Amino acid sequence: QVWCSDAESDDAWVLAEVLSRSEDEIKVRGLTEGHKHAFSRNRLKSSSSGELEELKYEGVELANANLSAAEKAEGRDNDLITLPHLHEPALLHAIGERFESGKIYTWTGPVLIAVNPFERLPLYTKEILENY
């Protein structure tokens, strides 16, 4: 699987699977939208209705394998520096997944990333604060 930059999508990066690859072109199918894309020489050709349309191409990045529930329970998703592929779409996806499960803090090596949930979370209970 790969992440593809797609200016037509609401998301900056779309998860896709590689259909074929040649020296100057990679053909992929978006896993969320069902669109087929052909990447070649800094241009993206999108085919959603049969017509090819050129869009700006920013890149194709390898996707990381999804962690199992057991691996997440062990905390393997706490530090993104452990990801085999550390790039913009991998960071955005991992931080988004953690946020959806109520984890607003994520480490990337020595850097702590915090996402504001715009609501009160029971992260700072009296018992937790007393530990520090």
pLDDT tens figures, 3-43: 887 777 677 788 888 877 776 677 777 776 555 555 544 44
How distant, in Å, are the alpha carbons of 10, 91, 93 from that of 96? 15, 8, 5
Amino acid 123 reads L
Residue with tokens 């990381």: 64
* Judgement on whether residues 78 and 129 belong to the same structural domain of the protein: yes
Q: What are the DSSP E strand ranges found in the chain?
A: 2-5, 13-21, 26-30, 36-40, 43-47, 53-56, 60-62, 105-108, 111-114
* Judgement on whether residues 87 and 132 belong to the same structural domain of the protein: yes
* Judgement on whether residues 127 and 77 belong to the same structural domain of the protein: yes
The pLDDT tens digits of the residues spanning 52-64 come to: 444 444 567 778 8
* Judgement on whether residues 12 and 51 belong to the same structural domain of the protein: yes
Domain that holds residue 29: 2-62
> Rounded to whole angstroms, how far apart are CA atoms 29 and 32?
9
pLDDT at 38: 55
pLDDT at 34: 55
> Rounded to whole angstroms, how far apart are CA atoms 15 and 30?
6
pLDDT at 48: 60
pLDDT at 73: 75
**DSSP symbol at 82:** G
The pLDDT tens digits of the residues spanning 62-108 come to: 788 887 888 787 777 788 888 888 888 999 999 999 999 888 999 99
* Judgement on whether residues 88 and 130 belong to the same structural domain of the protein: yes
In the chain, the number of structural domains is 2
Does residue 112 have a pLDDT over 70? yes
* Judgement on whether residues 126 and 87 belong to the same structural domain of the protein: yes
User: CB of 71 within 8 A of CB of 50?
Assistant: no
* Judgement on whether residues 82 and 36 belong to the same structural domain of the protein: no
Domain boundary among 16, 47, 62: 62
* Judgement on whether residues 99 and 115 belong to the same structural domain of the protein: yes
* Judgement on whether residues 25 and 53 belong to the same structural domain of the protein: yes
* Judgement on whether residues 10 and 50 belong to the same structural domain of the protein: yes
